Amino acid sequence: MSTLMKPSHQDKTGEKLDFIEQWLPPRYTTSVNIILKKEPKDPAYIRKVRKKKLSDQKVIDALYKVSLINKFQTEHN
């Protein structure tokens, strides 16, 4: 499920997690599961990855994409 990250991977993931914290919308689990359409996850697990910073790269990437979309929508309204 979750694994330890290598230092270089931690830096990239840390930057993504910082961006996610800044731009993730309040309701995001459904959007993450749309991105993960082939392997949807339980909403509680998605929140756990975000809050406890677990190393599930697919979920982190989906959270990042949702954050990017939210940032774009926020800045262009």
Q: Is the pLDDT of residue 1 over 50?
A: no
Q: What does the H/E/C string look like for the chain?
A: CCCCCCHHHHHHHHHHHHHHHHHCCCCCHHHHHHHCCCCCCCHHHHHHHHHHCCCCHHHHHHHHHHHHHHHHHHHCC
Instruction: Indicate the domain borders of the chain.
Output: 28-77
- On whether the pTM is more than 0.85, the answer is no
The answer to which of 2-16, 25-39, 54-68 has the lowest mean pLDDT is 2-16
Q: In the Cβ-directed half-sphere of 51, how many Cα atoms lie within 13 Å?
A: 7
Which residue type occupies 75? Answer: E
> d(Cα 42, Cα 13) in Å, to the nearest integer?
21
